[in-house]
Amino acid sequence: MEYLSILFDQVYKILFLLIPVLVSVAMVVWLDRRVWAFVQKRQGPNVVGPFGLLQTIADALKYIFKEIIIPSSSNKVIFILAPIVTMTLALIAWAVIPFSATQVLADINVGILYLFAVSSLGVYGIIMGGWASNSKYPFLGAIRSAAQMVSYEVSIGVIIINVLLCVGSLNLNDIVIAQQNLWFVIPLFPMFVIFFISALAETNRPPFDLPEAEAELVAGYQTEYSGMMYAMFWLGEYANILLMCAIGAILFLGGWLSPLEIYPFTLVPGPVWLVLKILLLFLLFALVKAIVPRYRYDQLMKLGWKVFLPLSLIWVVLTASYLFYFNLLPVN
Amino acid sequence: MIAHSIFFYTFSIIAIVSAIMVTASKNTVHSVFFLILDFISISCLFIMIGAEFLGMIMLIVYVGAVAVLFLFVVMMLNVAQQKNQWFSSEESSKHIPVGLIISTLIFVELIIVVGGWKYKPDLFDINNSIEINNVSNTHSLGQVLYTDYIHIFQISGMILLVAMIGAIVLTFRKRVGVKTQSYIKQISRERSDGVSVVKVESNKGVRIDD
């Protein structure tokens, strides 16, 4: 009985987290399209609901009522599993995101490693979808994206090491609290820039959307998908983008901390600050999509391995030696 | 406690079944997916005994990186066809006894290791040590890894480095006749290199060199 009550309590908490995340994913798709349109001097979605806010809901309804087509030559089990994997991985990562000192679903010791592990698993949804479709364009897209995500994960890992050197803990709440005096975006600014660009590549956003480059690969790994399964890929992608923004906000922008610890700012609760920071990063994501042209594939690989990886490694050495020399290493 | 054992048996059954399926399934890509499932359930078991750092590193390194490269190789090389040919040919029957001997050896070794660890006189009790030291296992791992075992740790790093350099040397080849992009050449290009003003006489035209 006791176990059941714990279970219900947890399920309630999980729903309380996941439903806002899903709703905000829908809103963020709208925001992305509006920003994109704004840059190009168009209107964007503005018909359904006030300011077109319900456009994504209408799109999702359309996808739900469409027929799901499974190609006869595909590997059916894996074909169906792929969007489910993408969506699930995008959602389970939110379990460790701290919204304030106490509002976190699972305050685990290795929170940042968990986030890193889940984001590195994200590549499987794409590979599975691309391979199981048994078709040329999806397979090429999947191969591209796997290579791209594995490459950029390396530099993201090294950037995380930079932050961890300054914190001395893998717990996400500790990382936030360590930024009480100074957000890490100031001392580690080059790492923040590299993290942002790597996050673009990791989530297959333009200018690194080679896996689904519509001019060369139709829609990449999503080509054979239709109806609800396509919608799940699509929602999972945006949930992943929001997640990367959240990771960036926690690692560099002080998570749920308010920018200044003085009177009017301290009235605003922590979750609001975190959401504002996530939105700020997302606006940058959306602007980059509208402004920057697509990279060529070899340039993308060159950027990942020959520029970002050495730069972030050198920065690790610099950070470590600075902390060691001035005896600032966190010890507990 | 009951919930704990339910989870333990679920994860271990999934691990064992998927390990069997890695060898049993006909499709090699399915084998790799079962291998990934195996890795994931093993890392869940690690987390259950309180070794959360090992579990997460297992996920990041094996599932996030190594298995992706496995999948690459298996998908690109068309191993499935070769495997089917091999199983249907006469040759395969010769390899079965060898495989059996090796697997029995590994099994016996595993049993010896488990027995020797269990009946060691000064068996290290995991549960007590956590309560006494009150440090997370990431910290305690770092404390021994960078003090008592620093040499072994450094040597294993060197071995990995040598393996990496070896792989690069083996696959590196200088291709001739391939046009590559050189940023320095592109940036350092001046107007005087590319454009020249030519005085064209009437009725003569101009010869353009390429």
CB within 8 Å: B65 and A153: yes
pLDDT digits (tens, 9 = 90+) for B54-101: 888 888 888 888 888 888 888 777 666 666 666 666 666 677 788 889
Q: Is the pLDDT of residue B130 over 70?
A: no
**Which of A109, A124, A143 comes nearest B136 by C-beta?**
A109
Q: Return the CA Rg of chain A.
A: 20
Closest to B55 in 3D by CA, of A159, A169, A116, A82? A116
**Domain extents for chain B?**
1-89, 93-123, 134-172
DSSP string, A183-240: -TTTTTHHHHHHHHHHHHHHTT-TTS-GGG-HHHHTTGGGTT--HHHHHHHHHHHHHH
Cβ within 8 Å, pair B136-A123: no
Contact call for A117 and B36, based on CB within 8 A:
no
Give the CATH fold of the B1-89 domain. Answer: Four Helix Bundle (Hemerythrin (Met), subunit A) (1.20.120)
In whole angstroms, what separates CA A216 from the centre of its chain? Answer: 25
At B134, is the pLDDT very low, low, confident or very high (cuts 50, 70, 90)? low
Shortest distance between the Cα of A120 and any Cα of chain B, in A, equals 5
Q: Hey, which residues 114-143 in chain A have their CB within 8 Å of chain B?
A: 114, 116-117, 120-121, 123-124, 127-128, 131, 139, 143
Chain B touched by A80 (CB under 8 Å): no
Whether A120 sits inside 8 A of B29 (CB atoms) is no
Question: Quick check: B57 and A113 in contact, CB under 8 A?
Answer: yes
Q: Nearest 5°: CA angle at B9, between B3 and B10?
A: 85
CA distance A121 to A275: 25
B60–A contact, CB cutoff 8 A: yes
Task: Take residue A319 and report the two structure tokens written for it.
Answer: 């950070």
Note whether B63 contacts A117, CB cutoff 8 Å.
yes
d(Cα B100, Cα B182) in Å, to the nearest integer? Answer: 55
Residue B189 to residues B150, B196, B197, Cα–Cα distance (Å): 51, 14, 17
Mean pLDDT by 10 residues, chain A (332 residues): 81 87 88 89 83 85 87 85 90 88 83 89 86 84 84 90 88 87 87 92 83 72 84 88 91 84 76 89 90 84 89 92 85 65
**Does a cis peptide bond (omega within 30 degrees of 0) precede residue A271?**
no
CA distances from A261 to A181, A256, A264, A281 (A): 9, 12, 9, 22
Min Cα distance B163 → chain A (Å) is 18
- For A134-159, the pLDDT digits (tens) are 888 888 888 888 888 888 888 899 99
Check if the beta carbon of residue A205 is closer than 8 Å to that of residue A289: yes
Chain B contact probe: residue of A170, A307, A313, A324 with most B CBs at under 10 A: A170
For tokens 């364009």, name the residue: A137
Q: Are A13 and A105 in contact (CB under 8 A)?
A: yes
pLDDT, residue B138, reads 80
Q: Do A239 and A21 form a contact (C-beta atoms < 8 A)?
A: yes
Q: What tokens appear for A21 in the block? A: 């995340």
Q: Grade residue B139 by pLDDT with cuts at 50, 70 and 90.
A: confident
B33:A128 CB<8 A: yes
Distance from CA of B152 to the nearest CA of A (A): 22
Cβ A187 vs Cβ A326: under 8 Å: no
Which residue in B33, B60, B139 is closest to A117 by CB distance? B60
Smallest CA–CA separation between B3 and chain A, in Å?
A: 8
| pLDDT at residue B123 tops 70 | no
| pLDDT tens digits, A96-119 | 988 888 888 888 888 898 999 998
Q: Chain B residue with minimal CA distance to A122?
A: B64
Q: ipTM of the assembly? A: 0.81
pLDDT at B15: 92
